[in-house]
Amino acid sequence: MLAGEPHIDLADWRRHCITAGGLSRRSRRFRWFWRVVRSYSQQERQQLLQFVTGSRQPPVGGFAQLQGFNGGVHKFTLCAASHEPKDSLPRVHACICTLDLPEYSSCGAMRRALHIALSMGAVGFDDAAVAGDDEAPSGDESAGTPPPD
């Protein structure tokens, strides 16, 4: 119970979603986003939720109780990212549960961009740091000797 609801209720998620940046619930981006999410498995929905909010599960009480990192209630927000290039990857602000969606040329283009973002978001900073630890520095930086060219 402390970890949240075990199942993502898609109707509850959509009902408690708000829009920003000029995006409306009637906009093509909004409709396409929810079409893509409806096609996702439960695991993919959890991955998306974690990508945008930092948590794989909705809070107890559903999406009406979604909290940002500061502990305050922050509704799941879809924001138009009109300043971004068309068909580019979405951007998240997990501290305020917001997904910035650029314009997409098609629902398929949005699906691909979300898939790439979720795939890349699955690799944490710790994973990258550990991968970088395997590489030994070239040259003796501790003695001030630059690495060989």
The residues carrying an active-site annotation are 95
DSSP string, 79-111: EE-TTSPTTPPPEEEGGGTEEEE---SSHHHHH
Strands 91-93 and 98-101, bridge-based pairing: antiparallel
Sheet bearing 77-80, strands edge to edge: 18-20, 77-80, 98-101, 91-93
CB under 8 Å to 6, separation ≥6 — which residues? 57
